A = this chain, B = another copy of it.
Amino acid sequence: MTRAGRPIPTLSCKQCPIHLEGEWCVLSDDELETVTAAKRDRLFEPGEVIFHQGDACDGMYWIRDGLVGERRLDPDGEMALVRLSHTGKALGYQELLARKPYRNSAEALKPTRVCYLSRAVIRDLLDGNSRLGDLFLLRSLRDMEMTEDDYVTALNRGIRSRLLHALLTLYKHYGHFEIDKGHVLEIPIARKDLAALIGTGPETISRTIRKLEKERIARFEGRQVVFSCIDTIQAEIRSTG
């Protein structure tokens, strides 16, 4: 559970599929070269921890590809999965910019390649390109929006609604449509993580899943789900659920 990840050869930023979105798009070719030269890439296997809650933050990470879960451990030992982060997401940028220790641990849930940039490099980039700061601000605002939405959902929706919401979100990232089967999702995380994501235990997840099957809303087989009618679920999430 606790390793540093395996160093891998540096991936070029120019060829990176995410170099045109988010913060990267404002960087000049020269700056991109600098980043490519300065960053250190690593591969984390599922279960490996990229950084630990409480640790000092001395740089930030981008997810090149893979899946990362940010976990928060309560003083009493309860663990919550605060969010899932996918390709293109930044990890630890908030703590870096605010000069604070990591609030959450980041753990690879699938094989994940990340690009690491040290505080000094980020500082130079920020000093050299004033627009970069604006884009970090925008990223922070977007993240805030999502967290606030999740917060409201957690406050006044039941487990069933939250589970459907989580599954639908996962579907958007990992699902696909098959003409003969329908909307298929291979759930990329374990039951207990699905539970930690919506604030319950694995038992309740199991039971809620069986309810959904009885109501023919979705069919589950291991980690694969087939949704009968996505629109119906959307509607249920929006209205009372």
Stretch touching chain B among A34-42, A133-141, A166-174, A180-188: A133-141
- A residues lining the B interface (CB < 8 Å): 72, 74-76, 78, 80, 82, 94, 97-98, 100, 103, 130, 133-134, 136-138, 140-145, 147-148, 150-152, 154-156, 198-199, 238-241
Count copies of this chain in the complex. Answer: 2
Give which listed residue, B141, B150, B156, contacts A140 with CB less than 8 A.
Answer: B141
Give which listed residue, B75, B136, B141, B150, contacts A238 with CB less than 8 A.
Answer: B75
User: Are A103 and B148 neighbours in the complex by a CB distance under 8 Å?
Assistant: yes
Give which listed residue, B82, B134, B145, B238, contacts A151 with CB less than 8 A.
Answer: B82
Q: Which of A72, A145, A155, A198 has the most CB of B within 10 A?
A: A155
With known contacts A137-B136, A156-B199, A148–B145 Cβ distance under 8 A: no
Taking the nearest CB of chain B, how far is it from the CB of A79, in angstroms? Answer: 8
A133 neighbours in B (Cβ, 8 Å): 133-134, 137
| A98: nearest chain-B partner, CB-CB | B141
User: Are A137 and B82 neighbours in the complex by a CB distance under 8 Å?
Assistant: no
A134 neighbours in B (Cβ, 8 Å): 133
